[in-house]
Chain A
Amino acid sequence: MTVRGVKNDAEVELEHSAASSLARLRPFVGLAVPLLAVAAALAVGAIMLLALGTSPIEGYRAMITGSLGGADKLADTAIKAMPLMLVGVGICIAFRAGVINIGGEGQIIAGAILSTSTALLVPDLPSAILIPMVLIAGAIGGGIWGAIPGGLKAYLGVNEILSTIMMNIIAAHFLSFLLQDLLIAEGDVKIQQTERLSENADLPLLPGGTRLHLGFIIALLVAVAAYILLFRSTLGVRLRAVGHNPHASRYAGMPVQRSIVEALAFSGACAGIAGAVLVFGSQSHRLIGEGGAAGFTQSAGFNGIVTALFGGLHPLATVPASFLFGAMLNGGIAMQRAVQVPSAMIIALNGVVVIFVVGSLRLRERLQRWFDDRVGIETSKERA
C-alpha cells in the first residue's frame, strides 16, 4: 500500500477499504497479544514441569479443572479475582493520570484497618448500615493512604514509586503493631489477629450455594464506576489529560497538581475497598496479620498492577483479566496437589506469566500504534 499525492479514485477506494478492514482488526490486537504471552509463559512452565519429572498435561489439566471445573471452583476463582479486580481498577485510574501507584498493598492494609476499626467501634448497627459503613471506611482509609504520596509528588516532587513503596512498609508495620496491642483479640493465646468481627458486617453470600459473596458485586460495580469516572465524566477528562500531557493540561487551565492527588486518592480508595472486602468476606471474619507482613492481602496490591496492565489499563477489561489471574492462583493450588510439585513451582510459574505479560505490553502498544498509523496515514496525508 502506497501513499501518493495523486491517486485515481479506484486506488483511493482500495486504500480506504484496506484501511477500514485494518481498523476492524485493531481491537483484537489488544486481546491477542497478552493471551499469546500467557500461552508462551505456560509453555515455559511446561518445560519447568518436565524438568521436575512431572507431566505438564496432567498439571495443566488439574489447573483448569481446579479453577474452572464446576460452580464451587468458579466461585473460588471469582473470590481470588475480587481483590485483583478492585486494586487493578484503581491502578487504571492512577496510571491513566500518569501516576505509578505501587502502593496497593499499603492501601489495602489502610482500608482494612479503618473498616475493621469501624466494625469494632459500632458492632451493633444493622447490616444494611454497617456493611456500607465498613466499605466506605475502607475506601477512605485506602484513599488517604494514596493521597499522602499523591500530595508529596504534586507539591514536593517526591517520586511516587518510592513513596508508595515506603507507604506499603509503613502500613504493614503499623498493622503489625496494632495487632500486637490495640486490636488484638482477648484471650490467652496471643495470635496476631482481631477477634471475630461483628456478624452484622459479614458480606452476605450470593444465592447459588457457593462461597461467593457480595464483594463480587461490589468489585464489578467499582469497575463500572471507574469506567464512568475515566471516560464519561469531566474529572476523567482532566485526569487523563494530565496523565498524557501535563504541559498542555496546564495551558488549558487544568489544576495539574490537584489532579495528581485526586488520581492517587481514587486509586487508593479502590484498593481500600479491596481491604474491606478481604476482611469482611473472609471465612474467619477477622483481620489477620502474619508475622511482620500482612498475609491477608494475598499480594493483590502487586498482582493488581499486572492485572490492570493485562487489561490495557481499561477498567472494564480489567474484569476478565482479574479472572485469568484468579484462575491461575486458584488452579495453581490444584496443580500442586495433583502432580505433587513444590509450592515454589507455582510461585515461579506465576512469576513467569507476569514477566511474559508485562514484556508483551510494549509489543502490543507498538502493534496498536502501527495499526493507527496505517489507518491514519491515508486520510491525514490527503491534501486539498
Chain B
Amino acid sequence: MSVSTVPEPKPTSPSITPMLEMKGITKRFPGVIANDRVDLSVRPGTVHTLLGENGAGKSTLMKILYGLYQPDEGEIFFEGKRIEIMSPADAINHGIGMIHQHFMLVPTLTVAENVALGLHPALSRADMGPVRRRLTEVSDQYGLKLDPDAYIWQLAVGERQRAEILKALYRDAQLLVLDEPTAVLTPPEVDDLFATLRQLTADGRGLIFISHKLHEVMELADEVTVLRDGEVSGHTTPAESSREHLAELMVGRSVSLTRDVGVSEVGPAKLQVDNLYVRGDRGTDAVKGLSLEVRAGEVVGIAGVSGNGQRELAEAIFGLRPVVSGSIAINGEEVVDHTPKSVRTNGLAYIPEERMKDGAIGDFTVAENLMLVGYKEPPFARRGFLNLEKIKERCTDLVHRYAVKTPTVETPTRNLSGGNIQKVVIAREFSSEAEAMVVAQPTRGVDIGAAEYIHEQLLRQRAAGAAILLISEDLDEIMQLSDRIIVLLEGEAMGEVMRGDATVGEIGLLMSGVR
C-alpha cells in the first residue's frame, strides 16, 4: 500500500470535545512518583503523541489507562463519562485497545484464532467462519492486508503488528494506544503504518502514539504531550514546535540534535572482512559473503532492520561465533576462530548490543565493570593480586572523564540508569585504546542527553584515529555518524553509500530490498 491510496480526511474537522481525559493522575511507587498530576486529553480523530525519556512515566500512565495499575489520585473520563478501569478486560470493553511493543500473539495459532482468543469461549476451528469474514471486512476497510489463516510464526514483524492492530479493531477499539510501533519497522513499513493510522483517525478514532523519534512525532502528531520525571513538562502541537524544542522539553535543557562530525584523517585499513559466511542460530547462513573494510579514522555504519545478520557479523568478528568461511583481519592479522581474548589482544574493542547481558555485570560494582577487561594488567594487579587502590584511582578518573553518574565507584552497577550503564561500558572499551572497534546499538534505550554524549565520544575516538564499525537500527544515528554506510539485508550487503550521497528514503529502500 502506498501513501496515495489514503483517503482525504473527512470534512468534519476533529471535534473539540475530547474522547479521553485523564485528569490529575498520580501514581506513587516506593521512593518514586512515577506520575505526578498528569493531565492527558485525546480528541477523536487525532493522533496524540506521548513523548518522554525512559523512566519519564509514559508506560506507567498507559498501564493505568489499560487497567494494569490503579492510580493513587486522579480521574479518567471516556466519552464524557467518568470510568474506573480495573483490568485490561475493562479497558477493552470501554473501547480502548493497546498495541504493545512486544506483541501479545500466540505464535502457534492463526491470525483469526488470535483475534478470536478471549472473545468467544471454547471456540473450535470449525467456528472460525464468522470471525474470518468480519476480519476480512476490517482488513479491507483499512487496507491492512493479512491472510486470516496464516500462522503468526509465519509472519514477518510488520505483519504481526498488523495482526495486533486488527485484533484491536475487531474489538472495535475507539482509542488505540501504540507503544513505539515503529521501533521494529523499516522506513517503507513505517510509511505504510502511518497511512493506516491516518485512515483510523479519518474514521474518527483517537490514537495515542508513544515514541521518542522526534521526526516521526513531527510528521504524524496532531498534539504532543511531553513527560519528564513523571510530570507533564509541555503540551504543544508540531506546528507550534520544533524538534529542538521537543527535545528540550524531554531532557530539561537544550540538546544538540545535529552532530558536528568534522573531518578526520583516514589511515590504513584496521578491520578487514572478506567474503565472510557465518551461520545463524537457526542453522542457516546469517551472513552471506560479506566483505568490508574499516580504515583508521573512519566510521563505517551497518544499516538494516535488526535480524539481518548484524549480530552474527559482530559476534564472528569478535570470536564469539564460528565462521563458516571467509576471513577477518585486524591490523592485517588473521583472527578467524580466535578467542575473544586473542581478538582483544590484536586491538579490537567491542560494545555489545545487549549491555546488561553481554556488556556489564549488574551485581558487580562500577569499578569492577570498568576493570572487567584490564583487571590483570599492571599496575592494577601484580602476581595475581589486585591493587585495589590503583583500581579505585583509575575508575574514579574514568567515571569523571566519561561523565558516569554514580554515587561511588563501589555502587552496584544495576542501580545505575541505562544511559549510565552504557557509559560504563563505553568508558571501559574506549579507554582500552584499541585501534579498531565494533560498536553495536550504542544508544538503544538510552536517553537523549546520554546519547548525545556517547556520540561525542564516538567521534572523538574517530578523530583519534580509531577504525569504528557502527551497527545500529537507528537510521538517524547511522546517517549522522558514518563516513560510509553499508546496508545489510538477509546477511548480504545491499549496497554501500558515502555520507551525504543518499537520503533516508534511499537507504530505507535498500533496507527493504529494492536496489
Contact = CB atoms under 8 A, between A and B. Distances in A.
Instruction: Name, among B31, B360, B406, B416, the residue most crowded by chain A CB atoms within 10 Å (CB to CB).
Output: B31
Interface residues of A, number: 39
Given A234-B384, A253-B341, A254-B341, A383 B361 contact: no
B350 interface: yes
Nearest to B251: A383
Classify the secondary structure of B's interface with A.
loop
A244 interface: yes
Contacts of B415: 372-373, 375-377, 380
Interface stretch (B98-106, B181-189, B373-381): B373-381
B359 A248 contact: yes
B299 to A, nearest CB: 21
Interface string B367-405: 010011101100001001110100000000000000001
A4 B32 CA distance: 7
A251 interface: yes
B386 A234 contact: yes
B118 interface: no
Contacts of A249: 361, 372
Contacts of B416: 376, 380
A5 B32 CA distance: 11
Contacts of A241: 361, 364, 368, 372
Interface in A33-59: none
A337 B373 CA distance: 58
A247 B358 contact: yes
Nearest to B387: A232
Contacts of B340: 250-253
Contacts of B231: 5
B344 interface: yes
B356 to A, nearest CB: 9
A234 B31 CA distance: 37
A251 B432 CA distance: 14
B434 to A, nearest CB: 12
A233 interface: yes
B411 A376 contact: yes
Interface in B397-439: 405-407, 411-412, 415-417, 420
A283 interface: no
Contact of A379 (B341, B372, B373, B405): B405
Given A237-B386, A241-B361, A251-B352, A372 B341 contact: no
B33 A253 contact: no
A4 B33 contact: yes
B476 interface: no
Interface string A226-266: 00100011110110110011011111111100000000000
Given A4-B230, A234-B381, A384 B253 contact: yes
Interface in A335-384: 372-384
A381 B318 CA distance: 34
Nearest to B420: A380
A2 interface: yes
B206 interface: no
B449 A383 contact: yes
A162 interface: no
B385 A252 contact: no
Given A380-B417, A383-B449, A5 B344 contact: no
A226 to B, nearest CB: 14
Contacts of A378: 407
Interface in B428-465: 449
A89 B340 CA distance: 32
A251 B363 contact: no
A69 to B, nearest CB: 42
B31 A252 contact: no
Contacts of A372: 412, 415
Contacts of A170: none
B14 interface: no
A234 B385 contact: yes
Contacts of A238: 375
Contacts of B230: 4-5
Contacts of B407: 375-376, 378-380
A381 B53 CA distance: 12
A5 B33 CA distance: 10
Given A4-B229, A376-B412, A251 B359 contact: yes
B357 interface: yes
A77 B384 CA distance: 36
B371 A237 contact: yes
Nearest to A245: B361
A205 interface: no
A252 B372 contact: yes
B107 interface: no
B362 A237 contact: no
A20 to B, nearest CB: 10
Interface in B94-133: none
B298 interface: no
Given A248-B361, A380-B416, A233 B33 contact: no
Nearest to B233: A5
B268 interface: no
A236 to B, nearest CB: 8
Nearest to B343: A253
B295 interface: no
A189 interface: no
A232 B385 contact: yes
A267 B320 CA distance: 29
B252 interface: yes
Given A251-B320, A380-B415, A380-B420, A237 B375 contact: yes
Contacts of A384: 253, 405, 449
A3 B381 contact: no
A134 to B, nearest CB: 27
Nearest to A16: B407
A3 B32 contact: yes
B341 A255 contact: yes
Nearest to B447: A383
B381 A244 contact: no
A153 to B, nearest CB: 19
Given A249-B361, A251-B340, A253-B340, 11 more contacts: A3-B33, A5-B229, A237-B371, A245-B361, A247-B357, A252-B340, A253-B344, A376-B412, A380-B406, A381-B55, A381-B417
22 contacts: A2-B33, A5-B228, A5-B230, A5-B252, A6-B229, A238-B375, A241-B364, A244-B361, A245-B357, A248-B360, A252-B340, A252-B373, A253-B340, A253-B341, A255-B341, A372-B412, A373-B415, A375-B407, A376-B412, A380-B415, A383-B449, A384-B449
Smallest CB-CB A-B distances: 7 pairs: A376-B415, A5-B229, A253-B341, A379-B407, A245-B361, A252-B372, A244-B361
